Every structure is written in structure tokens, then in C-alpha cells.
Amino acid sequence: MTQPEIVKGKGFEKVDRQKFGHDHLLGTKNLNKDEIEIILDLANYYADRLDDKAFKPDILRGNIILSLFFEDSTRTRTSFEMAAKRLGAEWINIDIAHSSVKKGESLLDTVLTLDAMLRPDAIIMRHSEFAAPDFIAGHVNCPVVNAGDSWREHPTQALLDALTIRRHKGKIEGLNIAICGDVAHSRVASSNMDTLVKLGANVRVIAPPLLMPKKLPHDSIQMFTSMEEGLKDCDIVMMLRLQKERMLDAEIPSEESFFADYGLTLERLDMAKPDALVMHPGPMNRNVEIADEVADDPQRSLILNQVRNGVPTRMAVLDLLLKNK
Ligand code: NCD
């Protein structure tokens, strides 16, 4: 089998931005299929041009984008920064670990202080509290982009995952997609289940009973507690990290037993379709949810392609939110 191919789409320079009627990007759940497709088409356009260093659209020159990450991040924050800079915006990152939050300042006071000082054109925010970005969006006069809150939403991750599937499989509709592991505590799973169902995929989740959500966002999503059964006929296998920071002690499985029952090995991957591709939002815990030989398989793993697609996806989101203002 050859390296997963990239299906280049048309993309379009003159996207009808007025059809994207949102002031903020707080989750996927308030986006409809057409709006998701507008983002993906524009992201695809930017993805086709990512290696062209001369391509500097500069459409956000003069805009200030404020980054407020109250939780750790490697890929999400850096790719938002790269996206902002490729579009010509100025990027200001607040180092929360050394900010007045540590002196007991409330979230709202911190944001209002920075808002008064910087007058940002957009705020990119990650927070452990449920719907914190929605709360802040109600108090500032600029678009707020949710870069992940609690276990609830991580919209740009789901969008970049959808872009990655579209570029490597040529479509999303009709694909069998398994989301596996700690589904209950994963905002990536939550936003992905919603997005992929809206785009017409047959979504299933595979998790041990303790890590299975009590409620799924769409009735059509199938639940499996066995990898062997759930992986059958899958086109895409999406793995998740155990989100121990959001688990009660009683829920935390031993890493060895979790890998024995739910780890994605080449042997297990053989139960999916022969051309099935593997995804993981990162950070990966090797040999806990995914074996080295799967994570590093250049023919089967899309993990670094996902990372790469984070930049054009976030360019599309910033473009749509800021050019519409
Ligand atoms: C995820 C996150 O922070 O929600 N990572 C990411 O943004 N790529 C997933 C995780 O932390 O496991």
C-alpha cells in the first residue's frame, strides 16, 4: 500500500462569507452541515497552499489576536499562532502560569483587564470549566474561539479531523468511523461525533463501560464495548488518550489492562477495512491506547497530517470570523 494520498479539492478564493452567520466559534453543535462545509472548503483552499511560502494572504493585517490558554497545549496553540501570522495578524499570548490568575483573580476580571488594554479583534481560549468560552463571549465585543473546554467541545480539532478525512478519503459521507477509548471525558470525541454525523458518516464509539458517555449527541451513533466487534468494516479508526485529569480515581483503569483490551495494535487494526486509516488528536500515550507500530506506520497513520491540517483549518476559522465583522 502506498502513502495515504491527498485528494486535492477545488477550494475557492471567493467563499460566500455571508453564509457563515456566526460571531463566535464556541462549538460544533451550533453549526449546521452547510456552515461546516464552508469552513472545510476554505480550509482545503488554505491547505493546498500551505507549502507555498510566497502565499501570504495578509487579510488580517492590523488585527490583534489574544491567546488565553488556561490548560496546557502544544499543537492547538501553536497552530492558531501560525494561522494568525500567515494571515498577517498580530498574536499576543498570555502566559497564564505566570499571570494574576495565580493570585486569585477571577476569569472574568482577567479577560476584562486584557480586553481593556489590548482591544483584541479575537480571543482564542482554552479552559477546563464547562462552557467557559461561551461565558466570556457574553462579556467581550470580539469573536471568541473555543480552543477546548472541559470534556464538552473542541470545535477546531473536529474540523481539522474532518478536513484530514476529506483530503485522504475524498469524502466523509458513508464512511464507517470508530472513535475509541476514553470517549466519556473527551471533548475531541464530543465535537467529532457531532461533526461527523452531520457530514453523513456512520459513527460508532468503542469504549469500556466506565468510559462510555451516558448520553451521545446523536441517536444514530452505535456503541461497542469490544474493539474486536467495533472495528469491523471501519474506514477510519480514531484513538483517544485516557483523560486522567478528568476522571475519578475509581474510573482510572491500569494502563496495562487498558492496552490489553483497547490498545490499537496492528493485529486489531486488521479487523477494520484493509485500507483503514488511523487518527489521534495527540498527545499520544504510546502503548497505552496505541502501539508504536500503528502510530508510526506511514501507510496507515494520519496523525502528523492531522497536526499539519490544524493550521489551514484555523486560518479558515479566523478568516470567516474576522472578515465577516
Ligand atoms: C486534545 C485536547 O487538548 O483536547 N488535544 C488537542 O487539542 N490536540 C486531546 C487531549 O488532550 O487528549
Distance 76 CA to ligand 1 centre (A): 8
Pairing type for strands 202-206 and 144-149 reads unpaired
Residue 174 sits in a domain of what CATH number? 3.40.50.1370
Pairing type for strands 64-69 and 90-94 reads parallel
Residues 179 and 231 in one domain: yes
Burial grade of 59 (CB within 10 A; 0-12, 13-18, 19 or more):
middle
**What is the pLDDT tens value at each position of the chain, 325 positions in all?**
444 556 554 445 567 778 898 999 999 999 999 999 999 999 999 999 999 988 888 899 999 999 999 999 999 999 999 999 999 999 999 988 888 888 889 999 999 999 999 999 999 999 999 999 999 999 999 999 999 999 999 999 999 999 999 999 999 999 999 999 999 999 999 999 999 999 999 999 999 999 999 999 999 999 999 999 999 999 999 999 999 989 988 788 899 999 999 999 999 999 999 999 999 999 999 999 999 999 999 999 999 999 999 999 999 999 999 985 5
Distance 13 CA to ligand 1 centre (A): 30
Residues 238 and 318 in one domain: no
Which atom belonging to ligand 1 lies closest to the Cα atom of 148?
A: 4
Residues 107 and 219 in one domain: no
CA distances from 212 to 20, 125, 181, 223, 283 (A): 33, 27, 8, 8, 20
Quick check: is 2 in a domain? no
Residues 90 and 102 in one domain: yes
Distance 74 CA to ligand 1 centre (A): 9
Among 188, 303, 314, say which to mutate for ligand 1: greatest number of ligand atoms within 8 Å of CB: 188
Quick check: is 3 in a domain? no
Which atom belonging to ligand 1 lies closest to the Cα atom of 72?
A: 3
Distance 102 CA to ligand 1 centre (A): 23
Burial grade of 22 (CB within 10 A; 0-12, 13-18, 19 or more):
middle
Quick check: is 6 in a domain? no
Q: Which of 251, 193, 200, 187 is nearest to 222 (CA)?
A: 193
Quick check: is 7 in a domain? no
Rounded distance between C-alpha atoms, residue 316 and residue 325, angstroms: 14
Which atom belonging to ligand 1 lies closest to the Cα atom of 73?
A: 3
Residues 100 and 201 in one domain: no
Quick check: is 5 in a domain? no
> Atom 11 (ligand 1): residue with closest C-alpha?
283
For residue 153, how far is the Cα from the chain centroid?
9
Distance 16 CA to ligand 1 centre (A): 31
Q: Which of 115, 117, 160 is nearest to 25 (CA)?
A: 160
Residues 212 and 284 in one domain: yes
Residues 204 and 128 in one domain: no
Q: How many domains would you assign to the chain?
A: 2
> Atom 12 (ligand 1): residue with closest C-alpha?
241
Entry pTM: 0.95
Quick check: is 4 in a domain? no
**Structural domain of 81:** 12-153+309-323
Residues 23 and 67 in one domain: yes
Distance 149 CA to ligand 1 centre (A): 10
Residues 33 and 145 in one domain: yes
Q: Edge-to-edge strands of the sheet including 122-127?
A: 90-94, 64-69, 122-127, 144-149
Residues 149 and 186 in one domain: no
Residues 122 and 218 in one domain: no
Distance 283 CA to ligand 1 centre (A): 6
Buried b (16+ CB within 10 A) or exposed e, 239-274: bbbbbeeebeeebebeeeebbeebbbbeebbebbbe
Residues 106 and 194 in one domain: no
Which amino acids bring their CB within 6 angstroms of ligand 1? 75-76, 148, 154, 157, 187-188, 241, 243, 281-282
